[in-house]
Amino acid sequence: MAQTTTADSAAHEHQVHPLDVYFKVWGWLFVLSIASYVVDIIQFDPSLNWIKWSLITLFAIVKSTLIVTFFMHLRWERASLVYAIITPLVFILLMAAFFAAESGHIADMRRAVLGG
């Protein structure tokens, strides 16, 4: 961080950041990918599968946050751009939740009506 003011203002306009930030993010992406792969291979008791799925989802969310924050430079963009990008994505989660609820209902109805 021993940069002059000119370098800082240049970094503000163009996304130039120290390379070691990228190397750290790169390393974490590898670690989290290996972690989710290992979690998948480990044989869980079927009643504990929710732990496996939660961990895999958590690792995916952390990985995507790292990519968007550092590789796509949102960490250094202005709030108006960041929120214009992030807020609409909430609706995807909402849609997925509605879809899942509807599908669960269909599966329950099938079991109730057709049995099994």
Partner 1 sequence: MESTQIDSTTSETEALTGWRSMVADLNADVQTFKVSWGKAMMWFFIVSDAFIFGAFIAGYAAARIAAPGAWPDTGEIFALHLFGADIPLLLIAIMTFILISSSGTMAMAVNYAYQGNKKVAHRLIMATALLGATFLGMQVFEWWELIGYGVRPWENPFGIPQFGSAFFMLTGFHGLHVTCGVLYLLWVARKVRKGGYEREGNYEGVEIVGLYWHFVDLVWVFIFAFFYLI
Q: Does position 3 bind partner 1 by CB under 8 A? A: no
CB atoms within 10 A of CB 70: 19
What SS3 state is found at 100?
A: helix
Distance CA 69, CA 59 (A): 15
Could you give the string, one character per residue 40-79, with x where binding to partner 1 holds by CB under 8 A and - elsewhere?
xx----------xx--xx-xx--xx--xx-xxxx---xxx
Q: What's the closest the beta carbon of residue 22 comes to partner 1, in angstroms?
A: 4
Q: Binding to partner 1 (CB under 8 A): which residues in 73-112? A: 73, 77-81, 83-85, 88-89, 91-92, 95-96, 99-100, 102-104, 106-107, 110
Contacts by residues 8-16 (CB-CB < 8 Å, ≥ 24 positions apart): 11/76, 12/76, 15/73, 15/76
User: Which DSSP category does 74 fall into?
Assistant: G
Dihedral angle at the C-alpha atoms of 54, 60, 66, 67, nearest 10 degrees?
-160
Residues that bind partner 1 (CB under 8 A): 14-17, 19, 22-23, 25-26, 29-30, 33, 36-37, 39-41, 52-53, 56-57, 59-60, 63-64, 67-68, 70-73, 77-81, 83-85, 88-89, 91-92, 95-96, 99-100, 102-104, 106-107, 110
